Chain A
Amino acid sequence: MPIRFKINDVAVEAKPGEGLLDVARRNGFSIPSLCHLESVPAIGACRICLVEVRRGRRSKLTTSCNYEVLDGIEVSTDSPEIRRHRAMNLELLLARAPSSEAIRKLAAQYGVSQPRFGPIKYNPLPNCILCELCVRACTELGHHALTTVGRGDRKRIGLPFNKPADTCVGCGACASVCPTHCIPMTDTLTKRAIWGQKHDFVRCSECGAPVITKKHRDHAIATKGLPEDYYDVCQSCKQIATSQRFAAIVW
Chain B
Amino acid sequence: MTSPFKNAAELEKHQKQLQGQKQLPSTIAVCTSGCVAYGANRLVDAFTKAVKSRKIGDQVRIIATGCQGFCERGPLVVVHPQEWFYEKVDGKDINDILDSALKGKVLKRLLHKDAKGKTYQKESEVPFYRNQKRLLLAQNSRIDPCSIDDYLRAGGYAALAKALTKMAPEEVIEQITASGLRGRGGGGFPAGVKWKSCRAAASKNGVRYIICNADEGDPGAFMDRALIEGNPHSVIEGMIIGAWAVGHPGKPQGFVYIRNEYPLAVERLGIALEQARAAGLLGKNILGSGLNFDIQVNRGGGAFVCGESTALMASIEGDVGRPRAKHIHTVEVGLNGKPSNLNNVETWANVPLIIDHGVKWFTKIGTGDVSDNPWGGSKGTKIFALVGKVKNTGLVEVPMGATLREIIYDIGGGIRDGKKFKAVQTGGPSGGCLPESKLDVPVDFDTLVQEGSMMGSGGMIVMDEDTCMVDVAKYFVGFLKFESCGNCTSCRDGLIRLHELLEDITTGRGSEATIQLIEDLAETVRASSLCALGTSAVNPLQSTLRYFRDEYLAHVQDQRCPAKVCKELITFTIDAKKCNGCTLCAKRCPQDTIEGKKKKPYTIIQDNCIKCGICMDVCQQDAVIVQ
Contacts and interface: CB of A to CB of B under 8 A. Distances in A.
A226 interface: no
A152 B492 contact: yes
B484 A151 contact: yes
B165 interface: no
Contact of B488 (A45, A61, A120): A45
Contacts of A95: 493, 497
A129 B489 contact: yes
A236 interface: no
B590 interface: no
Contacts of A81: 527
Interface string B517-534: 100110110011110000
A114 B530 CA distance: 26
B589 interface: no
Contacts of A28: none
Given A67-B327, A88-B521, A47 B486 contact: no
A159 to B, nearest CB: 15
Contacts of A67: 325, 327
Chain B binding surface SS class:
helix
B79 to A, nearest CB: 48
Contact of A62 (B325, B489, B517): B325
Given A44-B487, A62-B325, A152-B486, A50 B493 contact: no
Contacts, number: 101
Interface in A82-103: 84-85, 88-89, 92-93, 95-96
A153 B494 contact: no
A45 B530 CA distance: 9
A95 to B, nearest CB: 8
A75 B523 CA distance: 21
B483 interface: yes
A132 to B, nearest CB: 8
B487 A150 contact: no
A7 B385 CA distance: 47
A47 to B, nearest CB: 5
Interface residues of A, number: 37
Contact of B524 (A43, A88, A96, A118): A88
B494 A92 contact: yes
Interface in B122-146: none
Interface string A31-64: 0000000000001111110100000000001110
A110 B550 CA distance: 33
Contacts of A140: none
Nearest to A35: B489
Contacts of B325: 44, 62-63, 66-67
B196 interface: no
A50 B487 contact: no
Nearest to B483: A152
A61 B520 CA distance: 16
Interface string A119-154: 011000000011000000000000000001011111
A25 interface: no
A120 B524 contact: no
A74 B44 CA distance: 64
Given A68-B327, A88-B520, A116-B517, A152 B485 contact: yes
Nearest to B497: A117
Nearest to B501: A117
A50 B489 CA distance: 12
Contacts of B484: 151-153
Most buried by B among A70, A88, A121: A88
Nearest to B487: A45
Given A48-B489, A66-B325, A85-B490, 17 more contacts: A46-B489, A62-B325, A66-B327, A85-B528, A88-B490, A89-B489, A117-B497, A120-B496, A151-B305, A151-B483, A151-B484, A151-B485, A152-B481, A152-B486, A153-B482, A153-B492, A154-B482
